[in-house]
A and B are shown apart, each in its own frame.
Chain A
């Protein structure tokens, strides 16, 4: 879920958690005062936030419905400092929560009565190994900063979440972040070769490394996507990807979402693998045009933004295949971006779509389900009916090539009863996604937000097995408690009332 941040008019309360989040949080029973007394002995005062006023900036991530004040925020700069902080938490039995840029979309960084450990100052690039296309980076390095640092060598870091100008590599590792170009290049886990992490007992563990296929269990791949519940990555070894020699972007303009969905199926049937296939519906197009003037037609039912890349030699042919596929799917108009400037503009429109939607309604709520790609037409049609049934506007802008939906429910929380409708529509969307064999989340994570749905996807036995792995990394449950895997026997009804954010 994603909600536009608004300024509270009244001093907010210390916490405001959904029932799901509240139910999943274990009681905090440690010695908070003791920990607060310990902290100045570990970090200098200018790298600690402990006053109530300062802590409000850290009470949520980009999913703003779940909020809680951390006990304090610490800004370590080294692995040793992270380890010392974690050990202090263990000694005082106080939970701790890793935090990158706070751009997460599932409440994963909300620190309820916990020490928030920010990786913001661990933003060093330790080693760029250009010939071997690898880099050791700190978890606080911003996604695009890494790409910028290697651009002059013709390389980039491939995973490109929409928040890439702010989000950090450490956060990407925690969430196994995706982005538009994952269709061809894979998600974060496909680009992480190894890491160093402070585990939940404060010990430092190494996983993976510079050499491929080392014998032993692949803990790196288990750690990626564990949403900060297995420990805190303090150094990350990433794979760098050569830039494609050329890129072409095709804009397919369709009268209906249904035609655009068929376009996706047609493209994927042609034996080419585009770098990205993004679908943007009319509601989103209009918002984007009003905001960015990217050049999208206002009267289209939907557009497909398709990118092909590779050697110059077959780019035109790849683009022709895409055009042909769109024509088969009843496209109204299809054209190539004329030049880099137009291409950049179209992509800017796509990447800032969520910001643009924020101008249509004061609040929005983004889902992240993934469906088998052949189900796109029927699922999108049903999502429209869900919107009508629950009297809410649902915009769609998503990674169509991967089947990764982002239905965005637009609303104004000041309208009486609207949250119940938003919630009911959301529940209907997730039920629909799961009903066609889909997944709850493709890239935003479970966090607090979807923890109440986990038992609809996985059996109690599946969840028990996941809990066993978490308990190995995190035996005391102090590392980011209450997230991802529901506690056994705690039945949380996802449809139950969410508390209204106070003061909005």
Chain B
């Protein structure tokens, strides 16, 4: 656990970040960087005695020429604030990661995404450039503010999912999209998870172009019902997210009606109710459970899951990602996930812990990741010579 020597530093400028990093380097004192702290339970905890630096005051949206369809924001800007600005001009940044207060920097550091990644991709598909403070306090830049760019190496891609281990992200530029005419979701009741999963794999293989395909069971279903009481009353749900024109939406309706006929009822959420559904996803991940993430080829996933999902499960069908909730008190949480990993690895997949309650006893021993290849250690040693950036925060 982190033990700050002072209250968190909250630099208000890039120069102040730089000065803090230089100071930490001079004292060889590790720095823990956080945004709004929504994902402190993601990844292993930072270890050792360190200085905490919060980037929440670096929260400006720094460039927004609507016609260029790009947006730049400082690391501490809330994604929600960026979206609000973009919405005013009929645009959106098509990222819908968990947690209302998540910041741009935190989302990048954890490679965070949400259900609609099926349609739009993840941070790496929309990140155009970064400004980063290195371990010597020097600020460097890669990429740019145009939507296509092969000028120099894409250094910014290495900071995605790096848990702040390679530098302090200061400012990011993304490409944005027009806001869709319709944002809707079809929610189908299914007898069990396998049925929901199979149904959505069929939709994925069809001519339709959903932006999200989510199969849920257990606690994840119960969570959605709290905010959306009208959902079908069934053990599992299959959700097809749609965004685009009204005309193509009607086509989805027609085609999906036939697919859904064999299931246990469905509802269509159009407009505001769909917004409520996506917000429920955003706020869904439990902070009281261990959440394991399994990744595999989409069609391999059903066979790999077995009876996983006792407490709750959310599958991003078509992306080949499953998130399984487990009670942290179970003696064998780590062993269970390691066994899943063994099975998944035989097909090129993996299983890791994505998040766990900060007070979970077994936290430190959970399988958060894998020892990286030689390249991993080399990049870390080169870009963070003293090892001051978030030591222990990422399993590498």
Q: Cβ of B295: which chain A residues have Cβ within 8 Å of it?
A: 211-214
Question: How far, in whole Å, are A491 and B202 apart by their CA atoms in the complex?
Answer: 58
Which of A209, A311, A403, A454 has the most C-beta atoms of chain B within 10 angstroms of its own C-beta? A311
Interface membership of chain B positions 102-140, coded 1 if the CB is closer than 8 angstroms to chain A and 0 otherwise: 000000000101000000011011000000001000111
In the complex, what's the smallest C-beta–C-beta distance from B275 to chain A, in angstroms?
Answer: 18
Known: A272-B178, A374-B68. A403 touches B157 (CB 8 A): no
Q: Cβ of A311 and Cβ of B321 under 8 Å apart?
A: no
Distance (Å) between the CB of A372 and the closest chain B CB? Answer: 4
Q: Would B153 and A225 count as touching, CB distance under 8 A?
A: yes
Nearest residue, chain B, Cβ from A269:
B67
C-beta contact mask, A344-380 vs B, less than 8 Å → 1, else 0? 0000000000000000000000000011111000000
Q: Contact mask B55-96 → A, CB, 8 Å, 1/0?
A: 000000000010111100000000000000000001000000
Q: Mark A202-225 against chain B: 1 for CB-CB distance below 8 A, else 0.
A: 000110011111111111011011
Residues of B within 8 A of A459 (CB): 140-141
Within 8 A of B (CB), among A423-475: 437-446, 450, 454, 457-459, 461-466, 468-473
Contact present for A469 and B382 (CB under 8 Å): yes
Is A175 an interface residue, CB under 8 A from the partner? yes
Known contacts being A205-B375, A221-B124, A311-B207, is A214 close to B155, with CB within 8 Å? no
Residues of B within 8 A of A38 (CB): none
The answer to whether A485 has its CB under 8 Å from any CB of chain B is yes
| B158 at interface by CB-CB < 8 Å | yes
| Cα A458 to Cα B321 with chains together (Å) | 38
Q: Is the CB of B161 within 8 A of A217?
A: yes
Minimum CB–CB distance for B215 against chain A, Å: 16
Q: Which of A312, A317, A372 contacts B68 (CB 8 A)?
A: A372
A173 to B119, CA, bound (A): 23
Among A450, A462, A485, residue most surrounded by chain B Cβ atoms (within 10 Å): A462
Tell me whether A176 and B155 are in contact (CB under 8 A).
Answer: no
Q: Are A271 and B140 in contact (CB under 8 A)?
A: no
C-alpha gap A372/B373 in the complex (Å) = 38
Instruction: Contacts A218-B124, A317-B247 given; indicate if A132 touches B151 (C-beta within 8 A).
Output: no
Binds B, one of A64-72, A139-147, A186-194, A388-396: A186-194
A31 to chain B, nearest CB (A): 27
CB <8 Å contact, A212 and B157: no
> What is the count of residue pairs linking A and B with beta-carbon distances less than 8 angstroms?
243
**A62: min CB distance to chain B, Å:** 16
Which residues of A have CB within 8 Å of B23?
none
Nearest residue, chain B, Cβ from A211:
B295
Q: Which residue of B lies closest to A464 (CB)?
A: B140
Would B162 and A454 count as touching, CB distance under 8 A? no
Give which listed residue, B153, B178, B247, B395, contacts A273 with CB less than 8 A.
B178
The B-contacting residues of A in range 260-309, CB under 8 angstroms, are: 265, 268-273
Q: Contact between A441 and B149 (Cβ–Cβ < 8 Å)?
A: yes
A176 touches B67 (CB 8 A): no
Contact A211–B146 (Cβ < 8 Å): no
User: In whole angstroms, what is the CA distance A454 to B248 when docked?
Assistant: 45
Q: Does B383 contact A (CB under 8 A)?
A: yes
Q: Is B240 an interface residue (CB 8 A)?
A: no
| Complex: A107 Cα to B365 Cα, angstroms | 50
Q: Do A221 and B250 touch (CB < 8 A)? A: no
Given known pairs A131-B299, A211-B296, A374-B67, the reply for A472 and B378 (CB within 8 Å) is: yes
B319 CB-CB contact with A under 8 Å: yes
Q: Is the CB of A215 within 8 A of B69?
A: no
Q: In the bound complex, do residue B248 and residue A313 qualify as a contact, i.e. CB atoms below 8 Å apart? A: yes
Chain A residue, CB-CB nearest to B161? A218
User: What is the CA–CA distance of A249 and B250 in the complex, to the nearest angstrom?
Assistant: 23
Closest B residue to A454 by CB, please name it.
B152
A462 to B139, CA, bound (A): 8
A218 to B248, Cβ gap below 8 A? no
Q: Which residue of chain B lies nearest to A368 when distances are taken between CB atoms in the complex?
A: B150
Partner of A461, one of B139, B154, B250, B370: B139
- Chain A neighbourhood of B209, CB < 8 A: 310-311
Q: Which of A189, A215, A473 has the most CB of B within 10 A?
A: A215
Are A471 and B70 also in contact (CB < 8 A) when A211-B350, A271-B178, A459-B141 are? no
Chain B binding surface, main DSSP class: loop
Cβ B148 vs Cβ A442 within 8 A:
yes
In angstroms, Cα B248 to Cα A461, docked, is: 49
Is B263 close to A, CB under 8 A? no
Q: Which residue of A lies closest to B147 (CB)?
A: A402
Contact in complex: A461, B140 (CB < 8 Å): yes
Judge whether A2 is part of the interface by a CB distance below 8 angstroms.
Answer: no
CA distance A226 to B352 in the complex (A): 30
Whether the Cβ atoms of B157 and A218 lie closer than 8 Å is yes
Of B146, B158, B207, B244, which one neighbours A442 at CB under 8 angstroms? B146
Q: Which residue of B lies closest to A190 (CB)?
A: B125
- For B145, B152, B375, the residue with the greatest tally of chain A CB atoms inside 10 Å of its CB is B152
Measured between beta carbons, the chain B residues less than 8 angstroms from A312 are 251
Q: Would you call B177 an interface residue if the criterion is a C-beta within 8 Å of the partner chain's C-beta atoms?
A: yes
Alpha-carbon separation in the docked complex, A313 to B247 (Å)? 6
Q: Which B residues lie within 8 Å of A473 (CB)?
A: 375
Q: Are A372 and B145 in contact (CB under 8 A)?
A: yes
A215 and B352 in contact, given A313-B251, A472-B375 (Cβ under 8 angstroms): yes
Interface status of B205 (Cβ within 8 A of chain A): yes
Name which of A217, A318, A399, A473 has the most chain B CB atoms within 10 A of its CB: A217
B389 touches A (CB below 8 Å): no
In the bound complex, CA of A134 to CA of B84 (Å): 36
Q: Within the assembled complex, what's the spacing in Å between the Cα atoms of A187 and B352?
A: 30
Contact A210 B296 (CB under 8 A): yes
From 344 to 376 in chain B, residues with beta carbon under 8 angstroms from any chain A beta carbon are 344, 347-350, 352, 368-370, 372-373, 375-376
| Contact of A466 (CB < 8 Å), options: B155, B160, B320, B375 | B155
Residues of A contacting B370 with CB < 8 Å?
215-216
A54 sits at the interface (CB 8 A): no
Nearest-neighbour CB distance to chain A for B92, whole angstroms, equals 11
Whole-angstrom distance between the Cβ of A100 and the nearest chain B Cβ: 16
* A253 partner residues in chain B, CB cutoff 8 A: none
CB-CB under 8 A from B267, the residues of chain A are none
A382 at the interface (CB under 8 A from B): no
Candidate in B154, B368, B395 with the most chain A CB atoms within 10 angstroms? B154
Q: Which residues of B sit under 8 angstroms from A138, Cβ to Cβ?
A: none
B339 within 8 A of A: no
Pairs across A and B, CB under 8 Å, 9 listed: A131-B299, A212-B122, A222-B154, A273-B177, A373-B69, A439-B148, A442-B149, A461-B139, A466-B153
| Other 10 A-B pairs with CB < 8 A, given A461-B139, A472-B382 | A129-B297, A214-B295, A217-B375, A218-B160, A219-B158, A222-B154, A313-B245, A372-B146, A465-B155, A472-B379
Q: Contact residues of A with B, CB < 8 Å?
A: 129, 131-132, 134, 175-176, 178, 182, 186-187, 189-190, 205-206, 209-219, 221-222, 224-226, 242, 245, 265, 268-273, 310-314, 317-318, 370-374, 399, 402-404, 437-446, 450, 454, 457-459, 461-466, 468-473, 484-485
Cβ-closest 10 pairs across A and B: A211-B295, A221-B157, A374-B67, A215-B369, A314-B247, A271-B178, A442-B148, A210-B348, A314-B245, A313-B251
